[in-house]
Amino acid sequence: LEILFPNWRSFFSNLLSVSYVENEYPCQVISKNIVSDLVKKYPAAFSQINNDKPITQFKAEINVKEDCVPIFCKAYDVPFALRDNVKEELKNLENQGIISKVKYSDWASPLVCVPRKNGKLRLCVDLKVTVNKFVTVDQYPLPRMEDIFQKFHDAKVFCKIDLSKAFLQIEVSENSKRLLTVNTINGLYVFN
């Protein structure tokens, strides 16, 4: 935040005054009973939440320039100490239906393995060497920090939602699957 908006502290001090009003908003730990009550009270808001299924209201579409030429990259080397973990994670993703094995593809991007703090691996795809060169980007202007903060000026309750493997919860269109082929030590996979 300091890099993007160096004066954010002075901006907030001029905009907000923080005070605590006793018993107006009592703090409590949210229990499963409270969550269940909220789901019953507001079923429409929670109707799309299902940990086993992807978001189905729309499909992600990757648009590429018409004059693009497919690029096929070989798989990056994986240290021997990580190979079993990579194969296990690929098998888990395949069992969940997130990826599917394919025998052939014009496009292939290499797999990148990033160790997590908990010892597990995060599998990423290096699209910068393939698809990113040809993607037509939607030109959407980023909002200014002042505009974002202004929208929160009357807010009293804030919520943080952390989706596990968030990008893997959105289905990919059939046309885009071929662009998202990943080349691994286990062969080729496409993202579903």
Output the six-digit token pair for 163.
Answer: 């989706």
Inter-residue contact 183 to 127 (CB < 8 Å): no
Q: pLDDT for 90-111, tens place per residue?
A: 999 999 888 999 999 999 999 9
Inter-residue contact 129 to 73 (CB < 8 Å): yes
- Does the structure show a pLDDT above 80 at 192? yes
pLDDT band at residue 26 using 50, 70 and 90 as cut-offs: very low
Distance CA 180, CA 168 (A): 12
Distance CA 132, CA 179 (A): 10
If one compares 127 and 157, the residue with the highest pLDDT of the two is 127
Ramachandran category for residue 31: left, alpha or beta (phi over 0 → left; psi -120 to 50 → alpha): beta
Number of residues assigned to the chain: 192
Looking at residue 6, its pLDDT comes to 62
- Cα end-to-end span (Å), the chain: 34
Looking at residue 116, its pLDDT comes to 85
Q: pLDDT for 172-191, tens place per residue?
A: 999 899 999 999 999 999 99
pLDDT mean across residues, the chain:
79
- Residue 38: CB atoms within 10 A of its CB come to 13
Inter-residue contact 192 to 171 (CB < 8 Å): yes
- Does the structure show a pLDDT above 90 at 134? yes
Q: 0.75 cut: is pTM over it?
A: no
**Tokens 């019953």 — which residue?**
40
Which of 11-15, 57-61, 65-69, 100-104 is predicted with the least confidence, judged by mean pLDDT? 11-15
**Tokens 């018409």 — which residue?**
66
If one compares 181 and 43, the residue with the highest pLDDT of the two is 181
